[in-house]
Chain A
């Protein structure tokens, strides 16, 4: 595709359930980033991938959060046992490579935990 795509666009889940968010980066982009934006807050870095490896997991808020990337392309962000404070817009971005390259963002997934 021409841009970064994310699915689902909206997800409403009950507290305690697991959710999986998907990101399809721009073809050929080797770096992939996950952020989240809570209501009224700025963008919070979660994790990035260079290829299939994630050198920096320090931004993940807790061990309920995990992410993987396969084939150097699609990435999934999994949140286990969701809590209400997990409600946010989860944004994925990709760039040509790691380094100071512009990041291209997807439209985000709005997660609401009830």
Chain B
């Protein structure tokens, strides 16, 4: 019973175009969301987060959108670069944040 879902296991995008990675969750109590990027043989690295009181957070080329009614969030990367090729994990946390629930990840390939 996955509480955080990333239904696309992989995504390929041309360099310079927009990458959109999607994440759905089932627990309406989640109120804090994060995106992590993971290169092979390395631990995940934090990218961007959003609190449920917001519907958008932007940091450089990365923007996260949150649709609470749909229990959906997405990460937009514009413009995509080859160095963005990695596995992207969506994570969610209930109030108090003692535990983060991760999605299965989406492998992004940015083609030069």
Residue positions of A touching B, CB distance < 8 A: 4, 33, 35, 41-45, 48, 50, 55-56, 59, 91, 93, 98-108
Contacts and interface: CB of A to CB of B under 8 A. Distances in A.
Given A100-B51, A102-B46, A103-B46, A42 B102 contact: yes
B97 A4 contact: no
A108 B38 CA distance: 12
Interface of B: 6, 31-32, 34, 36, 41-46, 49, 51, 89, 91, 93, 96-105
Contact of A99 (B6, B45, B97): B97
B44 to A, nearest CB: 5
25 contacts: A33-B100, A35-B102, A42-B103, A43-B44, A43-B89, A43-B91, A43-B105, A45-B101, A55-B98, A56-B98, A56-B99, A93-B44, A98-B96, A99-B97, A100-B32, A100-B97, A101-B97, A102-B46, A103-B46, A103-B100, A104-B46, A105-B36, A105-B43, A107-B42, A108-B42
Contacts of A35: 102
